[in-house]
Structure 1
Amino acid sequence: MKQLKYIVLSLLTLGMMACENELVDDLRDRNNPPTDPLPDLTAGSADFSNYVSIGPSFTAGFTDNGLFIASQENSFPNILAGKFANAGGGSFTQPWMSDNFGGLAAGGTRITDPRLVFGGAGPVPLESVIGPVTVGTDIVLNNPSGPFNNLGIPGAKSFHFIAPGYGNFANFPAAANPYAVRVTGNTPNATILELATDQNPSFFTADLIGGNDVLGYATAGGDANINQITDPAIFEGAFNAIIAGLTANGAKGAVTNIPYVSSLPYFNAVPFDALDPTNPAFGPLIPTLNGIFGQINLVYQALGQPERSIVFSETAASPVVIRDESLADVSAQMIAAFNASPTFPLFVQSLGLPAAAAPLVANLLGATYGQTRQANSEDLLTLPSASVIGTVNSDFFAFLTGSGIPAALAGQFAVEGITYPLDDRWVLLPSENAEIVAAVDAYNATISSVASTNGLALVDVNAILTEASTTGIMFDDYNMNTDLVFGGLVSLDGVHLTARGYALMANSFLQAIDSTYGSNFEASGNLARAGDFPTNFSPLLQ
């Protein structure tokens, strides 16, 4: 009986354990439901056997203000080629740089500098961290031989892709691009488009063509004397010619539109109110500055221009002082008002100058502040302005001292963004940005029409960067935004993407290709993964 009792107990225990195991298995099944296997990858109606990419710096993989081996490895066309290889794609050749320093030389003479790196507080030149380097990529001594599937030409405008001799060293620097020189090989007068079409591509990407047509003007602060916006009619002709050439033999492809420059950190990383009263080099001077500008503000008010008044706060950040050429120039009226004021000589004496210097000071103040105001939230300060604001403008300092102003006083009146208005090249004014927006809208209308007419996939880069600059955009587990350094999307130069940003761009291409040509890169699990791509490169990468 005892034995029977133990047998029964054992059976009960086993039964309870079995029930418990079934419960655990049931819970495990509920938490990890079976998943259907992913479908096999299909190319749909696209043929990726011979893929060629054409475009400016994004195509090349430009990042951190340079092109170097690691950045080329992470270019979005190279990422795409890796995915295309799983769907019948062939080899993909790039014009490799010589090292990971970046920069270019011509016959041993440096023509562009090495890349930027993170210096702890912000972007700094590579050489400021590791010391001098020799730029090894030389457009005279060691150009690679093509043909190249990646025809990304940093700096190229739309019409440059159809310009003969753009890659001929004999035309450098006036009418040739050093990156184009590296890809033309034995046919220096061939156009970049011809280099692409001669390969008879079965599939192509053409990205951000037209981006540099507005970017050069924007980075110059809207100074048309430095760089001009390409007329939309010229862009339309160039873009139509490029797509006509690429599709002549039936190739399919994908194109992108152009983003607004205001979504890039190059134009929004530096705040318009950059003057901090807690800065020991600025804060203690605020009462004196307000006293000086108080005299100038009285003239603005008398001229019916009170909105131009310049006042610095002792408790909050103040806007920088800028020159706005869209304002009416009231220099002559200001000079006349100063000279007519009976108290102006006393003001001049308060500066440590003799009363007899009043006409000279009147002329200097009128000429300096005749088209001046403080910046507002609609003004876009360019990234390089961060290193200019608060420094002494050496040219204006020399002018003042040459006019008889003592050096100490000249230094006080030549401080960029405070007593010396920031020049146009450092600020993109609302009127100038409006010109850019109008051009971008015209370009994008052309791109959309041409893509639709030719049945091409269209990637809305404008929408992607707008979303990233407002709410951020999710890429796997990462929220990517356009904050400089820490946003993860845009590299240290404030314009070009990080490696992870280019991976996001590659995925946007793949999704557009899926939608247009019936491939299934996304559904089959063939998108790039964010964690496989870095957001910055070490200074030690050589």
Structure 2
Amino acid sequence: MKPFFKTFASLLVGFVAVTSCEKQTEEPTPVLTTDTSIFAKYIAVGGSLVAGYTNGGLYREGQLASYPNLIAQQAGVKFDQALFPVGQENGTGYWATTQNNTSTLFDKISDKLAVIATAPLTLTKYSGSVANNYGVVGLRVSDVNKAGFGNAKTQGFNPFYERILPAGKEETSYTDFVKESNATFFVASIGEQDLLSYAASGGKTSMTETSSFAINIQKLLDALVANKAKGVLTNIPSVLDLPYFNFYTFQELAKSVGTTDIYITTGNGIVRVATANDKILMEAISNVGKANAAGQKKGFSMAYPLTSEEVLDKDEISIIASRLSDFNGVLKLEADKRGILLTDLNGLYAQVKSKTYTVNGVKFDNSLFTGGFFSLDGINPTPRGSAVIANEIIKVINENYKNSLKTAIPSLDVSKFEALKVK
């Protein structure tokens, strides 16, 4: 078998030189460019994308490169974040790459963490005043109205939400917490995790129902505009286009491991040969061809197929695509009702996938290591990808709120941002 890490090595060689760039290390002093009447209280709401999760972890450098923070810098407005402090700046830990062709090409950065416990994950509490960035890693629309979602004593609590909640607020739902901000302007990206929980588990984890999604997003958006705030909401990109589900096609993988067919177990429990309409999860690639105690190679026969949790079969893919369309329909409908602007992230990600997105001479695609847009986890953007997203939202703000801006918000030079995390 052609190992996953060897594949990574071949892609990494010759690419390290183009990753040199400016890093977001500290918050710059804002230089006011906007009318404070609209940006008097600017907040960001949503999940991992808003929080700055990248390379499989949440850490200070990623937080600083979160797209809401980049917008704030360009607009010159105050935007506090629940940054991990110096000494714990690596947060949860994250993945990086080495610069040489050795046997260890992925390195897990595991020093200077803010992790108190791992089972369940518990993080050092943020002790500052309530931040402007309400991004919570792993947040689903189905979670936003749950009381106790940030209480460490509650089963299934979210440690990233628990970390930013002030003392005494442990039972406060995410929607109520956001409403207390009295924001005048917001950006919001939420809903992707409602699909990812299902997709990344190979269809094992249940997916949010459209009716539940609609009810919960209505309550969240009502809370955001309660103070007559202006805002921009992004729709949900297709998770099926992410590198995590597209590192290898089954045809490429079969050729790589020296076999004709690869056998999978579908969500219905049927064992069959994988086709071009199925996808393998990135973390399952290295399992293909591994021998069990009986000497059978995984995926090489009906007797020892890939499990359902390691793949997305064509029916599961169809379910995800249909639910994505439903969710985005709800987001557009509810945003329009409230006068909230919409940025088309789904369209942006489609351009990245089709290799048609270029800005300032920088080309992007959805290749995991060389595409520039996606980080090493195969799901979340690099700082450069976050800069691209920030620019798309800045365009929408400039086009629709130009009468509220002293000057147009300048776009970011995406070439200055990190495209591959190198240790």
Report Cα offsets for 1:372-398 as digits up to 9, x if no partner.
2221111111111122111134xxx4x
Matched, 1:538 2:419: no
Report Cα offsets for 1:79-106 as digits up to 9, x if no partner.
0111222xxx3x2111112434341xxx
Cα 1:123–1:452 shift into 2, 3 Å = farther
SS in 2 for 1:116: strand
Higher helix share: 1
Report Cα offsets for 1:57-113 as digits up to 9, x if no partner.
00000000001110001000110111222xxx3x2111112434341xxxxxxxxxx
Cα 1:147–1:275 shift into 2, 3 Å = closer
Q: Is the 8 A contact 1:147 1:195 kept in 2?
A: no
Q: Is the 8 A contact 1:45 1:517 kept in 2?
A: no
Q: Is the 8 A contact 2:358 2:364 kept in 1?
A: yes
Give the match for residue 107 of structure 1. Answer: none
* CA displacement at 1:142 relative to structure 2: 4.3
Give the match for residue 183 of structure 2. Answer: 201
* Residue identity opposite 1:92 in structure 2: F
Cα 1:47–1:141 shift into 2, 3 Å = closer
**Correspondent of 1:160 among 136, 143, 156:** 143
* CA displacement at 1:468 relative to structure 2: 0.6
* Residue identity opposite 2:40 in structure 1: S
Q: How far apart, in 2, do the equivalents of 1:46 and 1:378 lie?
A: 51
Cα 1:468–1:523 shift into 2, 3 Å = farther
Q: How far apart, in 2, do the equivalents of 1:320 and 1:232 lie?
A: 34
Give the match for residue 388 of structure 1. Answer: 287
Q: Is the 8 A contact 1:97 1:137 kept in 2?
A: no
Q: Is the 8 A contact 2:186 2:231 kept in 1?
A: yes
Q: How far apart, in 1, do the equivalents of 2:126 and 2:201 lie?
A: 30
Q: Is the 8 A contact 1:53 1:205 kept in 2?
A: yes
Matched, 1:118 2:66: no
Give the match for residue 158 of structure 2. Answer: 177
* CA displacement at 1:472 relative to structure 2: 3.5
Matched, 1:267 2:245: yes
Q: How far apart, in 2, do the equivalents of 1:51 and 1:388 lie?
A: 46
Give the match for residue 5 of structure 2. Answer: none
Cα 1:142–1:180 shift into 2, 3 Å = closer
Q: How far apart, in 2, do the equivalents of 1:182 and 1:44 lie?
A: 32
Report Cα offsets for 1:269-312 as digits up to 9, x if no partner.
122124466x7xx64xxxxxxxxxxxxxxxxxxxxxxxxxxxx4
Structure 2 stretches lacking a partner, 5+ long: 1-31, 117-121
**Correspondent of 1:472 among 328, 348, 356:** 356
Matched, 1:190 2:165: no
* CA displacement at 1:244 relative to structure 2: 0.3
Matched, 1:92 2:79: yes
Q: How far apart, in 1, do the equivalents of 2:403 and 2:346 lie?
A: 24
Q: How far apart, in 2, do the equivalents of 1:373 and 1:482 lie?
A: 29
Between Structure 1 and Structure 2, how many residues are aligned? 380
What is the percentage of aligned positions where both structures have the same residue? 27
TM-score normalised by L of structure 1: 0.66
Matched, 1:63 2:54: yes
Q: How far apart, in 2, do the equivalents of 1:475 and 1:274 lie?
A: 31
| RMSD, aligned CA | 2.5
Give the match for residue 48 of structure 1. Answer: 39
Q: Is the 8 A contact 1:389 1:417 kept in 2?
A: yes
Matches within 5 A, 1:75-86: 75-85=66-76
Q: How far apart, in 2, do the equivalents of 1:521 and 1:58 lie?
A: 26
Cα 1:184–1:455 shift into 2, 3 Å = same
* Residue identity opposite 2:46 in structure 1: G
Q: Is the 8 A contact 1:503 1:528 kept in 2?
A: yes
Q: Is the 8 A contact 1:116 1:124 kept in 2?
A: no
Matched, 1:418 2:296: no
Q: How far apart, in 1, do the equivalents of 2:374 and 2:412 lie?
A: 17
Give the match for residue 445 of structure 1. Answer: 329
Cα 1:46–1:519 shift into 2, 3 Å = farther
Matched, 1:516 2:397: no
Q: How far apart, in 1, do the equivalents of 2:246 and 2:317 lie?
A: 13
* Residue identity opposite 2:70 in structure 1: I
Q: Is the 8 A contact 1:74 1:502 kept in 2?
A: yes
Cα 1:474–1:520 shift into 2, 3 Å = farther
* Residue identity opposite 2:372 in structure 1: G
Q: How far apart, in 2, do the equivalents of 1:276 and 1:140 lie?
A: 41
Cα 1:497–1:517 shift into 2, 3 Å = same
SS in 2 for 1:47: helix
Matched, 1:248 2:226: yes
Give the match for residue 229 of structure 1. Answer: 207
SS in 2 for 1:169: coil
Q: Is the 8 A contact 2:125 2:164 kept in 1?
A: no
Q: Is the 8 A contact 1:115 1:125 kept in 2?
A: no
Q: How far apart, in 2, do the equivalents of 1:530 and 1:212 lie?
A: 26
* Residue identity opposite 1:78 in structure 2: N
Q: How far apart, in 1, do the equivalents of 2:106 and 2:373 lie?
A: 20
Cα 1:275–1:158 shift into 2, 3 Å = closer
* CA displacement at 1:475 relative to structure 2: 2.0
Q: How far apart, in 2, do the equivalents of 1:134 and 1:182 lie?
A: 17
* CA displacement at 1:522 relative to structure 2: 13
* Residue identity opposite 2:113 in structure 1: V
* CA displacement at 1:265 relative to structure 2: 0.4
* Residue identity opposite 1:427 in structure 2: V
Q: Is the 8 A contact 1:46 1:252 kept in 2?
A: no
Q: Is the 8 A contact 2:84 2:90 kept in 1?
A: no
Give the match for residue 37 of structure 1. Answer: none
TM-score normalised by L of structure 2: 0.83
* Residue identity opposite 1:472 in structure 2: T
Structure 1 stretches lacking a partner, 5+ long: 1-40, 104-113, 284-311, 313-317, 328-370, 398-409
Give the match for residue 64 of structure 2. Answer: 73
